[in-house]
Amino acid sequence: MASYGLNMLNSTVNWVTQALDAPSARAVVFGVHIGGHYFVEGLLLVVILFLLSQKSYKPPKRPLTKKEIDELCDDWVPEPLIPSITKEMEYQPPVLESAAGPHVIINGKEVVNFATANYLGLVGHEKVQESCTAALEKYGVGSCGPRGFYGTIDVHLDCESRISKFLGTPDSILYSYGLSTMFSAIPCFAKKGDVIVVDEGVHWGIQNGLHLSRSTIVYFKHNDMKSLHDTLEKITADNKRVKKLRRYIVVESVYQNSGQIAPLDEIIKLKEKYRFRVFLDESNSFGVLGQSGRGLTEYCGVPVEKIDIVTAAMGHALATEGGFCTGSSRVVDHQRLSSSGYVFSASLPPYLASAAITAIDMIEENPGLIVKLKKNISLLLKGLSGIQGLTVTSSPESPIVFLKLEQSTGSIKGDMELLEEIAERALKEDSVFVVTSKRSVLDKCRLPVGIRLFVSAGHTEADLTKACECLKRVSGLVLKHRD
Amino acid sequence: GFGFQGYAPICLGLEDFYIRRLYLRIQDCFGRPISSAPDAWFDVVERYSNDNNKTLKRTTKTSKCLNLGSYNYLGFAAADEYCTPRAIESLKKFAASTCSTRVDGGTTMLHTDLEECVARFVGKPAAVVFGMGYVTNSAILPILMGKGGLIISDSLNHNSIVNGARGSGATIRVFQHNTPSHLETVLREQIAEGQPRTHRPWKKIMVIVEGIYSMEGELCKLPEIVSICKKYKAYVYLDEAHSIGAVGKSGRGVCELLGVDTADVDVMMGTFTKSFGSCGGYIAGSKELVQYLKYTCPAHLYGTAISPPGAQQIISSIKVILGEDGSNRGAQKLARIRENSNFFRSELQKMGFEVLGDNDSPVMPIMLYNPAKIPAFSRECLRQKVAVVTVAFPATPLLLARARICISAAHTKEDLVKALEVISGVGDLVGIKYFPAEPNKQHQEHGTIKLE
């Protein structure tokens, strides 16, 4: 057996040696002397290539048959469209029976109205009413088209130039709804990859705009400049590429969720140091702050050119509806073509635009309104000092006076129950109409809930005294049980 | 940039290219200002430019033109004898705005009346009204659908629906425009596969369609879509922005026209800007749905309430349409818009234009295809005192440019005949009669005998 194997080995070796010594093995190709071993290497290469080109083993795919899909479809049960209705969902707000001025009629009784943001008392003012009536007779109610397709009426253009003239900016653009202003403006200028630093207490419109823009969002603590400084520092230090990206800071001038005023001069200092652009939402400060009502920029002494984009909803001091955005011409022209809430939506009804023009004219002609509003705010705050169980968290100059519970129950639901009881009793027993802050399930803001009073220049001293006494009495009653 | 050192430019260069090179040159065809109500005839403000259309300046001159562009389907756009006095009355009573959200101090008696009226008109148990149509879609979809849900929407849906769907966080799939068979294929595939990557079953599925598609002018194939959704247990969301008030025997929209029971459509949405001459949007559904929305929807909790004169205009116009004002103007308007649309469409087709859309739909796009024909068509029509709307990229694909005509009940037969003459003349000049024109009837009478 062994000798047979040895013979085989010998003959194989001889054969190989012969093959290697064959004439072809000594060929010279391109001046390279080919030895016989090249054949072995060539064979190995071919074998390797063959093995690599083989597909790796995958178990064969079997698509589902029609019958199986039918069964799956029959088995599948969807959730109900909405969850079942709980008791809180049956809340009905009080129904007004007259115009929402400083006094309003609810259920046949006259009540003092602190629930509408009628800061300068222009709701129902006769000059505004006159211009609206004239516009209704001339243009009808609606504008019947988006701005690009014959929905641009001359009052819109007049309104835009009036706003720019008032604020001292080159140009402005009108939106047909206050809430859509911010959530259409932000996605125009911020896309995926850009960085936005935003206060954690901003309202839902801004939150939705940030979500739609798909940029990187970083929150900083509510109205805390140190936190803003640290956040900006961290972002510029971390990311080397950040210089090429667009970077924004988004703040509100007077926060709807807490009544605090943003310190604009410090924000501008930070913005210039770290090279960010600023988006400012002046809904609650336009016509309120500053000597002549020009807003937070005048109040803090900052020239309006330093803010890149200013937006505001007109449903507050201007006693009309809609919103506007103002800034440099580049900013405004870009929005006319790519802002979805402007291009794909019908334009503002013309009578509301003419009401806005009249309201701005009145602000310029009667600076006394702003003085009266400031006086009313300070009177109210003085009257509310020492109230039991509630603390004032809004800034001293803010037209939204925000009261939160001194001792929270621990859950938003519990807080809301107490606050709603206070508001209900205030309305029923003392005829003072105040409102609690409401939160949607989609709202990401985690600031405490509270009671809001919107002060108006149309309130008299008697109204304010009545409100203070009423709140002190009711909160004492309701919150006494807890101790 | 603004001359700020070290800042990244605020507008990216690539987005700008189409705008700088193509759009600015034809900018005068869009955004034309008017200085009167958008009625059947209106005054278009003339503009001029000194720097090759980069900026346009207004003049005080106006020219009276025939309005074929505004969404004025039932003619409520201008001052109306029934609606306007009532709107002015409500202005005196409730002022121009309530300056407050609906849940705070913004609900007046008008608002509660309005919601009842709308629910009755549409044919659903309850309705809720918002101040703007765009916000209605963007704020409702995130409430109804969330992560783990599936939204199947038509490929040509409006931007507000797309934005609302994106904001909701649900997975989005698209089916071929108005093709119920493809919808069925997508539904079957998706239910069998489940959620992406985890393959868990979907929480809920919603199919979103529109009543009349504004860029195509066609009606949705609602009966087939509703039956497919019933079979696969998906929810149906119908956006009737253009069809409410404009189609149907009594103006109740696509459901009435195509014979679909309103109880089969889960959520009905619409806007008041088109047929009612006002502003705002609504959602109609079951009582529980509306109650839930009033508790959670951000547009209701954070947005200003609809302006009272606007609300009164809607109530008055619904009363006119239903004939509750004591006259039959509503029925006349509905008959007129149907006649006008069908007459205009058939005449255009006879002339050889390519017109999209179904019969009875008041929206008719005329295909131009070549974007270079947009300024020619638009400017020449304006010169002959007919104002049309031309649509370019990005609302339509770049090479499918079109001119869109919106017929109104306020147009008289003479207006339509004049419009047809002008459009025919301009069509010959520009060269958009892509189909052979049908020969006139008189010629046919002399022709050969038809062999049946």
Complex ipTM: 0.89
Question: Per-residue pLDDT averaged across A332-341, rounded?
Answer: 86
Percent with pLDDT over 90 in chain B = 29
| Chain B contact set for A124 (CB, 8 A) | 95
Q: Kindly state the percentage of chain B with pLDDT values over 70.
A: 93
pLDDT digits (tens, 9 = 90+) for A399-412: 999 988 888 777 88
| Mean of pLDDT values over B396-401 | 84
Distance from CA of B282 to the nearest CA of A (A): 15
Contact B348, B360 (CB under 8 A): no
Q: Pick the residue of B23, B42, B58, B99 with the most A CBs within 10 A to test the interface with A by mutation.
A: B99
Res. A22: pLDDT tops 70 = no
pLDDT of residue A293: 86
Is the per-residue pLDDT at B452 higher than 50? no
pLDDT at B324 over 60: yes
Query: For residue B153, what pLDDT is reported?
Result: 92
Task: Select from B158, B165, B124 the least CA-distant residue to B143.
Answer: B165
Three-state secondary-structure class, residue A364: helix
pLDDT digits over A445-458, tens only?
Answer: 888 888 888 998 88
Q: How far is B447 from chain A (nearest CA, A)?
A: 45
Quote the CA–CA distance of B277 and A354 in Å, as a whole number: 18
What does the pLDDT look like over A215-240, one tens digit per residue?
A: 889 999 988 899 999 988 888 887 66
B336 and B321 Cβ atoms separated by less than 8 Å:
no
Query: Given CA atoms A46, A48, A49, A50 in this order, what sign does their dihedral have?
Result: positive
What is the pLDDT confidence band of residue A422, given thresholds at 50, 70 and 90? Answer: confident
Say if the Cβ atoms of B279 and A176 lie within 8 Å.
yes
Inspect the interface and report whether the beta carbons of B307 and A129 lie closer than 8 Å: no
d(CA A402, CA A261): 12
Confidence band for B282, pLDDT divided at 50, 70 and 90: very high
| Residue ranges in B202-297 assigned as alpha helix (H) | 222-232, 254-258, 287-296
pLDDT of residue B391 exceeding 70, the answer is: yes
Q: Are B205 and B190 in contact (CB under 8 A)?
A: yes
Q: How many CA atoms lie within 13 A of A369 on its CB side?
A: 25
Instruction: Say whether pLDDT at A15 is over 70.
Output: yes
What local confidence, expressed as pLDDT, does residue A310 receive? 92
Question: Is the CB of B273 less than 8 angstroms away from the CB of A352?
Answer: no
Structure tokens at B134: 């765009």
* Region B426-444 average pLDDT: 75
**CB contact A355 to B (< 8 Å):** yes
- Helices (H), ranges, B361-412: 373-383
Tell me if A315 and B99 make a contact (CB, 8 A cut-off). yes
Minimal Cα–Cα distance from A154 to chain B, Å? 5
Q: What is the mean pLDDT of residues A154-160?
A: 92
A444-473 average pLDDT score: 88
C-beta atoms of B301 and A89 within 8 A: no
- State mean pLDDT over B113-125: 92
> How, if at all, do strands B235-239 and B267-271 pair?
parallel
CA distance A274 to chain B (A): 10
CB-nearest partner of A150 from B69, B78, B95 = B69
Considering only CB atoms, which chain B residues are within 8 Å of A334? 10-11
Mutate to test the interface with B, among A68, A92, A126, A141 (most CBs of B within 10 A): A141
The answer on pLDDT for B450 being more than 50 is no
Instruction: Identify the residue among B97, B190, B286 best suited for mutation to test binding to A, counting A beta carbons within 10 A and taking the highest.
Output: B97
pLDDT digits (tens, 9 = 90+) for A249-288: 999 999 988 888 989 999 999 888 888 889 899 988 888 8
Task: Give yes or no for a contact between A311 and A188, defined as CB atoms under 8 angstroms apart.
Answer: no
Selected for mutation to probe chain A from B104, B187, B190, B294 (highest A CB count within 10 Å) is B104
How open is the CA angle B240-A323-A101, to the nearest 5 degrees?
Answer: 100
Report yes or no: A18 at the B interface, CB cutoff 8 Å. Answer: no
Residue of chain A whose alpha carbon sits nearest to that of B408: A144
User: What number is the average pLDDT over the span A93-108?
Assistant: 86
Shortest CA gap B193–chain A (Å): 9
Nearest CB to A82; choose among B32, B276, B288: B288
- Alpha-carbon distance A57 to A359, whole Å? 76
Nearest to A442 among B70, B104, B142 (CB): B142
Q: Which of A78, A180, A191 sits opposite B233 (nearest CB)?
A: A78
Looking at residue B209, its pLDDT comes to 93
Distance from CA of B349 to the nearest CA of A (A): 24
Percent of chain A with pLDDT over 70: 94
| Three-state DSSP state, B283 | strand
Going by pLDDT thresholds of 50, 70 and 90, the confidence category of residue A243 is low
The answer, yes or no, to whether residue A483 has pLDDT greater than 60, is: no
pLDDT of residue B451: 44
Cα A404 from Cα A451, distance rounded (Å)? 6
Residues of chain A in contact with residue B42, where contact means CB-CB under 8 angstroms, are 150
* pLDDT given for residue B173 in this prediction: 93
The two structure tokens encoding residue B132: 């703007």
In three-state secondary structure terms, A396 is: coil
- CA nearest B304 in A: which residue? A315
**pLDDT tens by residue, A111-134:** 898 888 888 888 888 899 999 999
pLDDT of the residue at B236? 93
Is the pLDDT at B335 greater than 60, yes or no? yes
For position A257, what pLDDT does the model report?
87
3-state secondary structure (DSSP) of residue B417? helix
Confidence of residue B208 (pLDDT cuts 50, 70, 90): very high
Choose among A136, A149, A208: nearest Cβ to B91. A136
pLDDT tens by residue, B50-107: 887 878 888 888 899 999 988 888 888 888 888 889 999 999 998 888 888 888 888 8
- Kindly report the average pLDDT of chain A as a whole number: 86
CA A6 to chain centre: 88
Of the candidates B84, B88, B99, the beta carbon closest to that of A117 is on B99
**Would you call B77 and A144 a contact, using CB atoms and an 8 Å cutoff?**
yes
Give the nearest chain A residue to B5 (CA atoms).
A275
pLDDT of the residue at A431: 87
Long-range pairs of A237-242 with CB within 8 A, sequence gap ≥ 24: A239/A195, A242/A195
Q: What is the DSSP string of B10-60?
A: SS-HHHHHHHHHTGGGGGGGSS--BSS--SSEEEEEEEE-SSTTSS-EEEE
> Which residues in chain A have their CB less than 8 angstroms from residue B170's CB?
none
pLDDT at A163 over 90: yes
CA neighbor of A310 nearest in space, from A335, A351, A280, A349: A280
pLDDT of residue A352: 92
Hey, is the C-beta of A383 within 8 angstroms of any chain B C-beta?
no
DSSP state of B23: G
Q: What is the pLDDT of residue B414?
A: 92
For A22-109, where are the alpha helices, taking DSSP H only?
Answer: 37-53, 66-75
